[in-house]
Amino acid sequence: MNQGFVSLFIPIVVIILAMTTKKIISSLIIGILTGGILLARGNVIEGCIVAVEHLIKSVANEESAYIIMFLFVFGSFGEIMKLSGGIKGFSEVANKYIKTEKGALGSVWLVSIFTFIDCCFHAISTGTIGKALIEKTKGSKEKLAIVVNVTSCLLIILIPFGTTYVGYIVGVINSALNKSNIQESAYSLYIKSIPFNFYAIIMILLSIGIILFNLKFNQVVDKFKNTKEMITSGGHGNEAHEQCEFEEKAPPRPFNLIFPLAFLIITTFFFFWYTGQGKASGFLGAIMNAEFEKSILLSGTVSIVVTSIFYLFQKIPMEEIESHFLSGGNEMMPPIIVLVLSWGLSSIIEDLGFVSFITNTIGPGVPVILIPVVIFLIGCAASYFMGSAWGTWALLMPIAVPLAVTTEISLPLAVGAVLAGGSLGDNASPLGETAILSSTIAEVPLMKHVKTILPYSIISIIISSILFLLLAYI
| 118 to 162, 321, 393: CA distances (angstroms) | 9, 18, 17
Is pLDDT above 50 for 392? yes
At 52, the pLDDT band (50, 70, 90 cuts) reads: very high
DSSP-H helix ranges across 354-388: 354-357, 371-386
**C-alpha angle 116/177/47, rounded to 5°?**
105
At residue 233, the pLDDT reads 40
State residue 394's pLDDT score: 85
For residue 358, pLDDT over 80 is answered with no
pLDDT exceeds cutoff 70 at 249: no
Could you count the other beta carbons within 10 Å of the beta carbon of residue 30? 18
**CA dist., res. 122 & res. 419, Å (int):** 20
Can you give the residue ranges of every domain in the chain?
3-473
Statement: residue 406 has pLDDT above 80: yes
How much is the pLDDT for 376?
Answer: 94
Is 277 in a helix, a strand, or coil?
Answer: strand
Q: Which residues pair with 18 in a beta bridge?
A: none
Please give the average per-residue pLDDT across 64-75, as a whole number. Answer: 84
Residues 6+ apart with CB under 8 A from 292: 170, 185, 186, 187, 272
d(CA 239, CA 237): 6
* Average pLDDT in the chain: 82
The pTM assigned to this predicted structure is 0.77
State pLDDT tens for residues 111-157. 888 778 777 778 877 887 888 888 888 888 889 999 999 998 899 89
From 162-171, 229-238, 416-425, 446-455, the region with the lowest mean pLDDT? 229-238
* Cα–Cα distance for residue pair 398/179, rounded to 1 Å: 8
3-state secondary structure of 280: strand
Measure the CA–CA gap between 78 and 236, rounded to whole angstroms. Answer: 22
Cβ neighbors of 441 (< 8 A, separation 6 or more) are: 123, 124, 127, 128, 131, 145, 148
The pLDDT of residue 204: 94
Q: Which DSSP helix (H) or strand (E) runs through 167? A: helix 164-179
Q: Which residue has the higher pLDDT, 233 or 45?
A: 45
pLDDT tier, 414 (very low <50, low <70, confident <90, very high otherwise): very high
Dump pLDDT digits (tens) for 90-119.
Answer: 777 777 788 888 888 888 888 888 778 777
Instruction: Please give the DSSP secondary-structure letter assigned to residue 361.
Output: I
Q: Is the pLDDT of residue 185 over 80?
A: yes
**Region 53-78 average pLDDT:** 85
Per-residue pLDDT, averaged over 376-392, amounts to 85
Q: Residue 417 above 90 pLDDT?
A: yes
